[in-house]
Amino acid sequence: MEDLFPGEGFIEPVKPTIFCKTCANRQPWECGSRIIQYCGVRKSRRTFNGLLKIKVTTPACELYNEKKGMTMLNEHAIGTTITYNGINLLVMQAPNNDPVCTGCYFSNCQMRKRGMREFSCCNHNLACTKGERKDRKHVIFKAV
């Protein structure tokens, strides 16, 4: 290498240290059995939801926001009652861990009608799938 470019030393490539997987703007969406990652800040005209599709190994951009030691989604224990927009909702385990959310208060969400179901219950910031809950149980929110 030294013979080809005399006087120039070899420059080590700069490896990124922060990635999209630790960004607070990352939004995982569920499509059938696949999980697709989107950036909640950067836009795209090539996706159905208008968000840029990313990989978790993508180096972080200038819009990177680090998660501050807290989870993005609110996880509520099974059997508790929460209030959402003035409506009392009972957190119940889904029958047979049904991923279709039959009987859930949020089951008429536009994303579910299109065949896509966002992880955070259509942007309601509630942990409901077994992939995002610590107890690994799928839950639904029943109006009481």
Residues sharing a CB contact under 8 Å with residue 135, sequence separation 6 or more, in sequence order: 78
Give me the pLDDT at residue 112, please: 46
Judgement on whether residues 66 and 90 belong to the same structural domain of the protein: no
- For residue 4, tell me if it sits in a domain: no
How many separate domains does the chain show? 2
Window from 52-61, 79-88, 105-114 with minimum mean pLDDT: 105-114
The pLDDT score that the predictor gives to residue 44 is 92
Pair 65, 92 in one domain: no
pLDDT per position as a tens digit, 26-62 = 888 887 788 888 988 899 999 888 999 998 788 988 8
Statement to judge: residues 137 and 112 lie in one domain? yes
pLDDT of residue 46: 92
Q: Which residue has the tokens 């080590």?
A: 12
pLDDT at 66: 77
10 or 135, greater pLDDT: 135
Q: Same domain, yes or no, for 103 and 59?
A: no
**Would you state the pLDDT for residue 56?**
78
Average confidence (pLDDT) over 88-110: 75
- 23 with 56, same domain: the answer is yes
In a domain, 92, yes or no: yes
- Pick from 86, 84, 69, 65: nearest CA to 123: 84
Domain that residue 123 falls in: 81-143
Is pLDDT above 70 for 7?
Answer: no
Angstrom distances, CA of residue 4 to CA of 12, 49, 97: 17, 49, 63
In this prediction the pTM is 0.45
Same domain, yes or no: 96 and 48: no
